[in-house]
A = this chain, B = another copy of it.
């Protein structure tokens, strides 16, 4: 693989890597409808606020979300809603796997 090709796939992988965590996928899904502050996401997720803050900074660093400070709160919103389309494909893979698993039991 040439250095140029390698760099291309590394750039892509960095974005996908940022999505490759259940909590971050949940966050992306929650931001689908509206922007939310860290405190709200923390309540929904049920982890330490520092953990949630770090997940958000991962998503922000690759440009998937954007943040906006309003008073003492920081609101995050989805910058690239196209990532939501991932779910459609991913869910179809999950479903196919489950069906194949079932078929094996017959």
Contact = CB atoms under 8 A, between A and B. Distances in A.
A83 B19 CA distance: 14
Interface in A69-106: 79-80, 82-83, 85-94, 96-97, 100
Interface residues of A, number: 43
Interface of A: 1, 5-6, 9-13, 15-17, 19-26, 29, 44-46, 62-64, 79-80, 82-83, 85-94, 96-97, 100
Nearest to A63: B97
24 contacts: A5-B26, A6-B22, A9-B22, A9-B23, A9-B25, A9-B26, A12-B25, A12-B91, A13-B21, A13-B25, A15-B90, A16-B19, A16-B25, A16-B90, A17-B20, A20-B20, A62-B97, A63-B96, A63-B100, A64-B93, A80-B89, A80-B92, A85-B85, A85-B89
